[in-house]
Amino acid sequence: MSSRIVGQVKRVNGPVIEAMGVSDARMLELVRVGESGLIGEIIKLSGSGATVQVYEDTTGVAPRDAIYGSGLPLSLELGPGLIGTIYDGIQRPLERLLELSGRFIERGIHAEALDRKRLWSFLPESGLSIGTELEPGAILGRVQESSSIEHRVCVPPDMGGTLSFLAPAGDYRVDEHIATLDGPDGARQLTMIQRWPIRSPRPVLGRRPLTIPLITGQRVIDTLFPLAKGGTVAIPGGFGTGKTMTQHAIAKWCDTDIIVYIGCGERGNEMTDVLNEFPKLIDPRSGKSLMERTILIANTSNMPVSAREASVYTGVTLAEYYRDQGYHVAVMADSTSRWAEALRELSGRMEEMPAEEGFPAYLPTRIAEFYERAGYVDTLSGLEGSVSIIGAVSPPGGDFSEPVTQHTKRFVRCFWGLDRQLANARHYPAISWLDSYSEYLEDLKPWWEERVGGEWAQAREEIMGLLQKEVRLLQVVKLVGPDALPDSQRFVIELCSLFKNAFLQQSAFDDVDRYSTIEKQLRMLLIITLYWRRGQAAIKRGVTLVKLKRVKAVQEIVKMKFTVPNDAVEDFDRLAARLERGIDQLEAIYA
């Protein structure tokens, strides 16, 4: 621990400490408090006073305890060994803490984020030689970090110079000297570890428009409200409506290279669940275990509040680090409301003037800054990468008019609103087709067109139109009963109900249904619109709705999500043929 004392404790109020006698502390400097060395950060300086936000339980901290400065801002250790690890909100490796302090997390324990003993096989980048001028971000070498991820060891973004040493291929520890750069400030020795402050976005060369979808395998998302790679989305919903399940499903099946999953102020068992399940699940694209592409951050609801505040920045900084190596990364934050509430609690303890519902006035700025860190970029190293942010929001009482939901809505471009009624009816995912939207839709259409032609956009619009129509028809039914409607209109209701059962509902627990490839999604959608067109025509010819519903193939449509696996989409041709035949036969009777 540093012995540079920067001040003394004056007052302890939960995680907020007021300091006195502060001389040379810096804003956002990482500090250690008291003899047990609790980790904190200077968040306010005024005269000889300062405010310190402490990331551990402050029980036992007393006035006049010393505060030690570190001279550095709260930063992450970045390098090989991050993938597959579970950290707390300030990047302490939880498995290591378990070894150090047992099942309960004691105060004042520290552990290095990256394992110093582990050897990595480093392969220097070809084409580099002594004397090469290296820009910030240039790739120095490669390390196979996990079976799915090749770690690209780069020059830190704030450094550059002439290469005067590059380690030969071989096994190295993360803190071993692998390169030297001569710059204007002299020679800089580099290891595989970089440090980066969590609150500063990492620089990029440029941002690109978002034109590629982030495929999640969840039909209601990919087909109705798609997210773009590099995009942002909020999932608001009351408790039990399916925020966590949706986040888990995306973390498991989405087509990004890397997942950073932040459990921010939520349940311990949910993290355990991920820890148990992910190693066993196989990523359908790489054929490797899902844990080989996942980093977990767990700051559960019973862990210190301030670390909850830091955890989302920790997560997004890790994501940017891999983006800079040319990867597509998805960040899930469950739940951003707990982060906002942590801000509120800290602000309250600092006796700041509250704005709405006790939240500090800077809440919208913080939310905006966080989501701004998403994007599809050209990296300093000359590669393409993206960070997409998927934030759960937990509105009190499930009421979306509250400040966190409202402000988040301003800064995200995609919104998957979870509906209590749907969740109660066990219609999962309970993503409302009426409240949700995606502003990426238009920008993603060309991608779909290139892959499958115009069919996708057309079918999607057709079905969205029907869902809107259904709302009006259901209002009529509520007043006068279904019998008052002609079969042609009841068929709209019938078709929507089929679409909800057969397509929108997707069980996270069923081995076949838990994710659908876009091919399967499209085929399912097309069968349903086929049924719509043929059924409509049949009813015009006098076929009754009751008869139509009994067509065997219609019953099969309802269960096709379970019966047709992703690798057997040709089954849909046969199903479509059976449907046509069934309706042909019916029509023949009525003709």
Partner 1 sequence: MPEANEALARGEARRRLMSGREYVGASRIDGPLVFVRNTHPVGYRELVECVDAEGKARLGMVLDTSDEVVVVQVFEGTDGLTMPGTKTRFRGKSLTLGVSERMLGRVFDGLGRPLDGGPAPIADTDMDVNGRPINPTAREYPRDFIQTGISSIDGMNTLIRGQKLPIFSGNGLPHNELAAQIARQAKLRGGATDFAVVFAAMGVKHDVARFFTRSFEEAGALDNVALFLSLADAPSIERIITPRSALTLAEHLAYDKGLHVLVVMTDMSNYCESLREISTLRGEIPSRKGYPGYLYSDLAELYERSGMIRGVKGSITQLPILTMPNDDISHPIPDLTGYITEGQIVFEREMHGRGIYPPVAGLPSLSRLMKDGIGEGMTREDHPHLASQLFAAYSYVKDVRNLASVIGEEELTPLDHQYMEFGEFFERKFVSQGKSEDRGIEQTLDLGWEALKLLPAEELHRVSEEELNAYYHGDRDQ
- Is 162 exposed, middle or buried, given 0-12, 13-18 or 19+ CB atoms closer than 10 A? middle
Beta pairing, strands 328-334 & 258-264: parallel
CB of 246 to ligand ADP, least distance (A): 6
Which residue in this structure is represented by tokens 């949910």?
270
Under rule CB under 8 A, residue 509 binds partner 1: yes
Under rule CB under 8 A, residue 21 binds partner 1: no
**Neighbour tally for 544: CB within 10 Å:** 13
| Interacting residues of 428 by C-beta distance below 8 A, sequence separation 6+ | 242, 245, 422, 505, 506, 507, 508
Query: Closest CB to ligand ADP among 5 and 275?
Result: 275
Query: Closest CB to partner 1 among 12 and 319?
Result: 12
Under rule CB under 6 A, residue 281 binds ligand ADP: no
Under rule CB under 6 A, residue 146 binds ligand ADP: no
Binding positions for partner 1, 559-578, rule CB under 8 A: 559, 562
Per-residue burial over 362-392, b = 16 or more CB atoms within 10 Å of its CB, e = otherwise: ebbebbeebbebbbbbebbbebbbbbbbbbb
> Distance between CA atoms of 125 and 108, rounded to whole angstroms?
40
Cβ atoms 347, 354 nearer than 8 A: yes
- Contact segment (CB under 8 A) with partner 1 among 40-48, 103-111, 313-321, 530-538 equals 103-111
Cβ atoms 531, 498 nearer than 8 A: yes
**How does DSSP classify residue 77?**
E
Query: Closest CB to Mg ion among 392 and 463?
Result: 392
> Distance between CA atoms of 400 and 409, rounded to whole angstroms?
10
Query: Closest CB to partner 1 among 92 and 520?
Result: 92
Under rule CB under 8 A, residue 49 binds partner 1: no
Cβ atoms 586, 538 nearer than 8 A: yes
Question: In the structure encoding, which two tokens stand for residue 58, read together?
Answer: 């402050």
Under rule CB under 8 A, residue 466 binds partner 1: no
Question: In the structure encoding, which two tokens stand for residue 314, read together?
Answer: 């920790």
- Contact segment (CB under 8 A) with partner 1 among 215-223, 317-325, 380-388, 557-565 equals 557-565
- Contact segment (CB under 8 A) with partner 1 among 120-128, 138-146, 362-370, 552-560 equals 552-560
Under rule CB under 6 A, residue 436 binds ligand ADP: no
CB of 464 to Mg ion, least distance (A): 28
- Looking from the CA of 172 toward its CB, the CA atoms found within 13 Å total 25
Query: Closest CB to ligand ADP among 141 and 242?
Result: 242
Q: Alpha-carbon Rg of the chain, whole angstroms? A: 27
Query: Closest CB to ligand ADP among 115 and 419?
Result: 419
**Neighbour tally for 269: CB within 10 Å:** 10
Binding positions for partner 1, 198-257, rule CB under 8 A: 238-240
Q: What are the backbone angles phi and psi of residue 201, rounded to the nearest 5°?
A: -65, 140
Binding-site member from 105, 153, 193, 390 for partner 1 (CB under 8 A): 105
Binding positions for ligand ADP, 215-254, rule CB under 6 A: 237, 239-245
CB of 225 to partner 1, least distance (A): 23
Under rule CB under 5 A, residue 241 binds Mg ion: no
Count of positions on this chain that bind ligand ADP (CB under 6 A): 14
Under rule CB under 6 A, residue 391 binds ligand ADP: no
CA 464 → CA 88, 545, 561, distances in Å?
42, 22, 20
Q: Which does 201 bind (CB under 5 to 8 A by kind): Mg ion, partner 1, ligand ADP, none?
A: none
Q: Which residues pair with 141 in a beta bridge?
A: 124, 153
Binding-site member from 3, 46, 62, 486 for partner 1 (CB under 8 A): 62
Question: One symbol per residue from 329 to 368: x for binding partner 1 (CB under 8 A), - otherwise; what is it?
Answer: ---------x--x--xx--x-----x--xx----------
Binding positions for partner 1, 107-126, rule CB under 8 A: 108-110
Q: Pick from 209, 201, 113, 91: which is nearest to 157 by CA?
A: 201
CB of 540 to Mg ion, least distance (A): 47
Length of the chain: 591
Q: Which does 477 bind (CB under 5 to 8 A by kind): partner 1, ligand ADP, Mg ion, none?
A: partner 1
Cβ atoms 50, 19 nearer than 8 A: yes
> Distance between CA atoms of 293 and 259, rounded to whole angstroms?
6
Binding-site member from 58, 146, 244, 438 for Mg ion (CB under 5 A): 244
**How does DSSP classify residue 122?**
E
Helix (H, G, I), strand (E, B) or coil at 502: helix
- Contact segment (CB under 8 A) with partner 1 among 45-53, 125-133, 299-307, 369-377 equals 299-307
Query: Closest CB to Mg ion among 389 and 551?
Result: 389
Question: One symbol per residue from 502 to 541: x for binding ligand ADP (CB under 6 A), - otherwise; what is it?
Answer: ----xxxx--------------------------------
Cβ atoms 366, 336 nearer than 8 A: no
> Distance between CA atoms of 294 and 37, rounded to whole angstroms?
31
Q: Which does 300 bind (CB under 5 to 8 A by kind): ligand ADP, partner 1, Mg ion, none?
A: partner 1
Under rule CB under 6 A, residue 337 binds ligand ADP: no
Site residues (vs Mg ion, CB under 5 A): 243-244
Write out the residues near ligand ADP by the rule CB under 6 A.
237, 239-245, 428-429, 506-509
